[in-house]
Chain A
Amino acid sequence: MAIRELKVCLLGDTGVGKSSIVCRFVQDHFDHNISPTIGASFLTKTVPFGHELHKFLIWDTAGQERFHSLAPMYYRGSAAAVIVYDITKLDSFQTLKKWVKELKEHGPEDIVVAIAGNKNDLGDIREVPMKEAKEFAESIAAIFIETSARNAVNVEELFQKISKQIPPLQNPEVESNESFKLTQQPPPSTRRCC
């Protein structure tokens, strides 16, 4: 099966549970005192989808969102973005629009956007009605889902939904841009032209 690497960047206010969602998805683990971003440039998880394997490279904000200082390079080449808010914090939902705007400015044009209302295990102190959030997501053609990283609710589903929205692989000839990552070994030698 062909492995397809998909970069996914996480957005959303500090403390809404971005890292918890990744942690649940990648390691099926939840930690109350997560000090998340230390040392994790991105995490990966490979899941089968149709005839492909989707290898998600999940980029966390590394705290750079805290003082509104995310660098444009964060968004480069992302196949999808997950914007997370906390259903118990109205503020975190209201800033969603800012994140959408920022994504439109800096993100790739064809990026798949998903909105995740996290902490849905705390329904009794909910501040954001699901209906409102869903309507907003629809208005920007985004995936919508409520999750609970703590209780492992809908986290896998979130990424399944993303997988479904990823456009099928184009002609690989076109995709290969002859750009490469630097590693010790040289990249596969380019075709010879004569």
Chain B
Amino acid sequence: MASEHLPSEFDVVILGTGLVESVVAAACSRVGQRVLHLDRRSYYAGKWASFTFNGLLSWIEEQNKIPAIEEHDWSSQLEEGEDLIALSTREVSQVTNLQVFNYTSQSEKSRKRISYAELLKEGRRFNIDLVSKLLYSRGSLIDLLIKSNVSRYAEFKNVTRILTCRHGNIEQVPCSRSDVFSSRLLSVVEKRMLMRFLTSCLDQDTPLHYQDFAERPYLEFLQHHKLSENLQHFLLHSISMATPDTPTATALMATRHFLQCLGRYGNTPFLFPLYGLGEIPQCFCRMCAVFGGIYCLRHSVHALVVDKGSSRCKAVIDSQGQRISCSHVVLEEGCFTQNATPTRCVSRAVLITDGSVLPSEAEQQVSIVTIPSESPVRLVELCPSSMTCIPGTHLVHLTCQSLGSAFQDLSPVVTRLFRTPDSDHHEPRPEVLWCLYFNMSEGLGSEVSELPANVSICLGPDGSLGHDGAIAQAELIFQKILPGEDFCPPAPVPEDVLYRGEESEVSSSHQGEDPETSASHQGEELDGSPSHQGEEPEANPACQGEESENSPSHQGEEPDASSSPCGEESGVSPSPCGEESETSPSHRGEESETSPAPSGEESETSPAPSGEESETSPAPSGEESETSPAQLEDGTQG
């Protein structure tokens, strides 16, 4: 652990280890750029971090401290024709209204409760995220994880329940076919109506006629379709996760995304990473390091050195005063104190409770609860097997767009759905052992008017549920740095990596030109999915394995088949439309008629999200599950 000096020359210097920065780091390093990745903090992931309980307490303490401003004069480092842009030497605090309530100490007589001492003692088994998001099973983050093979570093759990709060009760939202089937909240007529509505949402050939409503509130559209109040609630709040006045076009798009995500991994559209969201940036950092990126926490950039002639940043001065030359700089937001004002804020609450909001036989549930309100609240409840809390507890994250302080926005929900000393209801609800409220800025206003063209700024997490914004941003920054380069091509499979041998995958893949991977990659883009399936078994096994794991485009297409509520994959079959076909044969006829056309189209063009491939869909998934384990074995032997 001897302290060393950093090398003084890199291609890309990145400050901050949030998700966007980490994806950019991995992408650059993967195609052979020399990356220096720094974070001024002692932990990874910045605002995306997750903490142990004790770690969270230290973080809270840190937020309340006002760090001293360090003054440095780095002008001696400048050469002729250079300018200096100073960065803020301390973190611009983007967290406000921090409030902690500890309800563990007031001991009750009869109930066995977890004490504060236990929380501290077992603190390391908590992984508490600052940001509460989920991964859409067909979102761009999942696609990127799979494409790049970064997914090897993480494990996931399905979100098992979609719940909503209605009339003060927590109810399970039927969204998959089997849910709808077994729901006790819906009448037979409602079930049929819901099925028909969901199916037509995904049907491209007989689309819903919403043009008259496109800009009008979604609620009006639902009412126009004569959907019952039950269904309106589910469709509006839980499936489209909209507000009553969200425009119909927007809400329907969200609904479609939701439905397309069903059934890829589970009965709900969402996944959650084991050990918390904070793992994801770390996984991308590891990928960066594996390809030679250099990591240094507790280390910052104090200034940018700008060439007056070209107005490009040619070097940075780090927190030790070392000048490090580079061709590109990527910075987290909040590096410039001047005029940095939060534009929008998210209100957050984190609770440790002693039970689930909706106890069930299967104890280990991961649930998302949508709670309609002026600013809709999203509640994610994590069970111990998600490795984020200790047995006997649940970890609950609440999030909404801020209207007031986090406490003002969220404490009414907390006292209603849980028991705290402030609760006045007598319903059997889980007790809150400990809770934290805070507001977090959702992006800062323009920090500085003009930055050199080769300096990019990454925004922090937004308030949305998914990660599409962050991934899109990372890809944009990457394209700006390396136009035309492949974004996170698949890393070689462990079995293929040899330490020595110039022709081995190691050296070639380093350039991002691993013949195998790039070939297969291309193959996918050209091949349409139907013919592709036919070819796959013959292909070279190693190549094939890569393909089945990595291909982005492939993924884009083929899953659609299974994603659609018509896909009959897996016994669970969470697809609404199977049922639809039972209930309305006429409709089904329509579908099978149209099916050949779209799939033909697809093979030439690109992902056509279509529910029409019900015939083709079982093939790809069945085939892949057969071929890829075989590939793994081949790899080990060879």
Interface residues, chain A, with chain B CB atoms under 8 Å away: 13, 19, 23, 27, 29, 31, 34, 36-44, 46, 55, 57, 62-69, 71-74, 76-77, 91, 95, 98, 105-106, 177-187, 189-190, 192-194
Assuming the A-B contacts A39-B506, A179-B274, A192-B572, are A186 and B265 also in contact, with contact meaning beta carbons closer than 8 angstroms in the complex?
Answer: yes
Minimum C-beta distance from A51 to chain B (A)? 19
27 pairs, CB–CB < 8 Å, chain A vs chain B: A23-B499, A29-B499, A31-B499, A38-B510, A39-B510, A40-B497, A41-B286, A42-B152, A44-B495, A55-B636, A62-B286, A63-B295, A67-B297, A67-B299, A71-B285, A177-B274, A178-B364, A179-B155, A180-B157, A180-B265, A181-B151, A182-B156, A183-B548, A183-B549, A184-B550, A189-B570, A193-B362
Measured CB to CB, the nearest residue on chain A to B152 is A41
Contacting residues, chain A, for B636 (C-beta < 8 A): 44, 46, 55
Interface residues, chain B, with chain A CB atoms under 8 Å away: 1-4, 6, 44, 124, 142, 145-146, 149, 151-158, 182, 264-266, 271, 274-275, 279, 282-283, 285-287, 289-292, 294-299, 361-362, 364, 385, 491-492, 494-495, 497-500, 505-506, 509-510, 548-551, 554-555, 562, 569-572, 621, 624-625, 628, 636
Q: Do A39 and B491 touch (CB < 8 A)?
A: yes
Assuming the A-B contacts A71-B282, A73-B279, A181-B151, are A41 and B494 also in contact, with contact meaning beta carbons closer than 8 angstroms in the complex?
Answer: yes
Q: How distant is the Cα of A137 from the Cα of B43 in the complex, in angstroms?
A: 29
Q: Do A190 and B572 touch (CB < 8 A)?
A: yes
Given contacts A31-B499, A62-B286, could you give 20 more A-B pairs where the C-beta distance is less than 8 Å?
A27-B498, A38-B292, A39-B492, A64-B286, A66-B294, A67-B294, A67-B295, A71-B44, A73-B153, A76-B274, A95-B1, A178-B157, A178-B158, A179-B155, A182-B156, A183-B151, A185-B621, A186-B265, A186-B562, A189-B571
Contacting residues, chain B, for A182 (C-beta < 8 A): 142, 145-146, 151, 154, 156, 265, 271
Assuming the A-B contacts A38-B506, A41-B287, are A183 and B146 also in contact, with contact meaning beta carbons closer than 8 angstroms in the complex?
Answer: yes
Q: Do B570 and A41 touch (CB < 8 A)?
A: no
Minimum C-beta distance from A8 to chain B (A)? 13
Q: Do B1 and A68 touch (CB < 8 A)?
A: yes
Main secondary structure of the interface of B (DSSP, over half): mixed
Minimum C-beta distance from A55 to chain B (A)? 8
Q: How distant is the Cα of A55 from the Cα of B495 in the complex, in angstroms?
A: 12
Q: How distant is the Cα of A162 from the Cα of B4 in the complex, in angstroms?
A: 33
Minimum C-beta distance from A38 to chain B (A)? 5
Minimum C-beta distance from B128 to chain A (A)? 13
Contacting residues, chain B, for A36 (C-beta < 8 A): 499
Ranked 3 nearest A-B pairs via Cβ: A62-B289, A182-B151, A67-B296
Q: Which of A19, A57, A178, A180 contacts B385 (CB 8 A)?
A: A178
Contacting residues, chain A, for B145 (C-beta < 8 A): 182
Contacting residues, chain A, for B287 (C-beta < 8 A): 41
Q: Do A67 and B4 touch (CB < 8 A)?
A: yes
Q: How distant is the Cα of A40 from the Cα of B149 in the complex, in angstroms?
A: 12
Minimum C-beta distance from A152 to chain B (A)? 15
Q: Do B385 and A40 touch (CB < 8 A)?
A: no
Q: How distant is the Cα of A144 from the Cα of B147 in the complex, in angstroms?
A: 40
Minimum C-beta distance from B36 to chain A (A)? 10
Q: Do B296 and A69 touch (CB < 8 A)?
A: yes
Contacting residues, chain A, for B548 (C-beta < 8 A): 183-185
Measured CB to CB, the nearest residue on chain A to B49 is A72
Q: Do B291 and A39 touch (CB < 8 A)?
A: yes
Q: How distant is the Cα of A72 from the Cα of B279 in the complex, in angstroms?
A: 8
Q: Do A180 and B279 touch (CB < 8 A)?
A: no
Q: Do B290 and A39 touch (CB < 8 A)?
A: yes
Measured CB to CB, the nearest residue on chain A to B548 is A184
Contacting residues, chain B, for A95 (C-beta < 8 A): 1
Minimum C-beta distance from B528 to chain A (A)? 17
Minimum C-beta distance from A184 to chain B (A)? 4
Q: How distant is the Cα of A105 from the Cα of B385 in the complex, in angstroms?
A: 20
